[in-house]
Structure 1
């Protein structure tokens, strides 16, 4: 199926670039769909209060843009990784997982976010791809390391042969957390480390993309692009472009996708 990303996708969607021409990727923004407020306009998740007909129309357009079907996950802030196979029938209910990988060109990996960090993975030789949903719980639990291991296994490759792209998420000047989050990452109020800054008594500002980069680097990933932690990447700071749960809990979901041509 031909890909129509440049023709159909709105200009403010993100277009991750990977080194191998076989790898395609995109991340949606709020624009381009038919959902009405507060889900305007390109909400991709049903069951949030949006009109199911509008969600179905948005999902149909997404599939047309990426040129292949995707499979929804039931995301629970965990570390499970789902393998997409080209000939597998869609399950009756979405699998419970927070990451997805494939070596097939017949399907696209999709994860959804509205403040959490999306991370896309691709083998430099174009043999496998993956996508992970990394909120702080999944990140601390090892969802990125689990996804990396699955992509490496599919591609029969080392960690140094895997590229990662970090998408927009709640930024390091807006993500206020408690001591439980510090402890989950092996830090403490007395020694918070470089990824946490004091905000007010009992609260710290967490740098989610920096934590992700730190963990990916420790796992052997050398090539990372995308979210630098700069204000332009903050979902909470750009509610007109991004769905943000912290801005408005009744909101839609964006999707980050990666596939093999």
Structure 2
């Protein structure tokens, strides 16, 4: 099966939100599992990651990633990394370096100021987005010469509101900080609420002054044949789950 790579016309640098299609993994990981932190076979994950690197036209060691911890921390990357530092976003102005983010319901966000030759990639779950990882990525890109009004940001496949049920304490954590965030919640069953993660991400990006922001409108939870989903795996009682990869390079 061929790789399936979703792209956006808003991003002119080479990029892709890879689906699970075209990978070597099997079983619960069937497809293009690129998660080195999963319990999938390491050699199979390496095959999958090499296919991604080839598709992006870079050596495998130039497919750069970080140890994601749901933080607002951003790493400036200038070349291959010998270790994966803890962070949840990266920026670079170095041609030939491919920034990669792993997700399985959280938002993968790819950024570019094509005129300045600066790109970024961020992993934004609810905690990272709430704590400012998107704004921190924009700040780090500006430090490399990007202009905020020239930056395009695209949110890739992530969990949609219809599938993201949360409890009252989650709702209160947002609305106690900012009552405006009520707009991102809809009523669910009993005391449950439905949280709109991609709309929240778009709101944060636009409020920060980004030139263009969009979501690809793909829900990881609702398309099991295309996407991995932590929440879907949890509901099914499965032991582990695959990770999708999203990549951008100059």
TM-score calculated relative to the size of structure 2: 0.90
The superposition leaves residues 26-69 of structure 1 with CA deviations (integer Å, 9 ceiling, x where unpaired) of 01111111111111111001231111110111111111111122
Q: 2:223 aligns with which of 226, 230, 238?
A: 238
CA contact (8 A) 2:175 2:182 kept: no
What's the C-alpha RMSD, in Å, of the aligned pairs?
Answer: 2.1
Question: Which structure has greater helix proportion?
Answer: 2
Please state whether the residue corresponding to 1:194 is helix, strand or coil: helix
After TM superposition, the structure 1 = structure 2 runs for residues 147-226 of structure 1, keeping only pairs within 5 Å, are 147-157=137-147, 159-186=148-175, 193-226=182-215
Q: CA deviation at 1:150?
A: 0.8
Distance 2:170 2:100 in 1: 26
CA contact (8 A) 2:75 2:89 kept: yes
Aligned residues: 242
After TM superposition, the structure 1 = structure 2 runs for residues 88-167 of structure 1, keeping only pairs within 5 Å, are 89-91=80-82, 93-157=83-147, 159-167=148-156
Q: CA deviation at 1:203?
A: 1.7
Q: What residue in structure 2 maps to residue 4 of structure 1?
A: none
Q: What residue in structure 1 maps to residue 72 of structure 2?
A: 79
Gaps of 5+ in 2: 235-239
Q: CA deviation at 1:100?
A: 0.9
CA contact (8 A) 1:9 1:65 kept: no
Distance 1:192 1:55 in 2: 38
Please state whether the residue corresponding to 2:43 is helix, strand or coil: helix
Q: What residue in structure 1 maps to residue 14 of structure 2?
A: 24
User: Using a 3 Å threshold, how does the CA distance of structure 1 residues 148 and 165 change in structure 2: closer, same or farther?
Assistant: same
Please state whether the residue corresponding to 1:255 is helix, strand or coil: strand
User: Using a 3 Å threshold, how does the CA distance of structure 1 residues 148 and 9 change in structure 2: closer, same or farther?
Assistant: farther
Q: What residue in structure 2 maps to residue 248 of structure 1?
A: 233
Distance 2:2 2:233 in 1: 25
Q: What residue in structure 2 maps to residue 5 of structure 1?
A: none
User: Using a 3 Å threshold, how does the CA distance of structure 1 residues 9 and 108 change in structure 2: closer, same or farther?
Assistant: farther
Q: What residue in structure 2 maps to residue 60 of structure 1?
A: 50
The superposition leaves residues 47-93 of structure 1 with CA deviations (integer Å, 9 ceiling, x where unpaired) of 3111111011111111111112212211111111111103xx522x3
Distance 2:97 2:146 in 1: 20
CA contact (8 A) 2:64 2:98 kept: yes
TM-score calculated relative to the size of structure 1: 0.86
User: Using a 3 Å threshold, how does the CA distance of structure 1 residues 125 and 247 change in structure 2: closer, same or farther?
Assistant: same
Gaps of 5+ in 1: 1-7
Please state whether the residue corresponding to 1:185 is helix, strand or coil: helix
Distance 1:133 1:19 in 2: 17
CA contact (8 A) 1:111 1:132 kept: yes
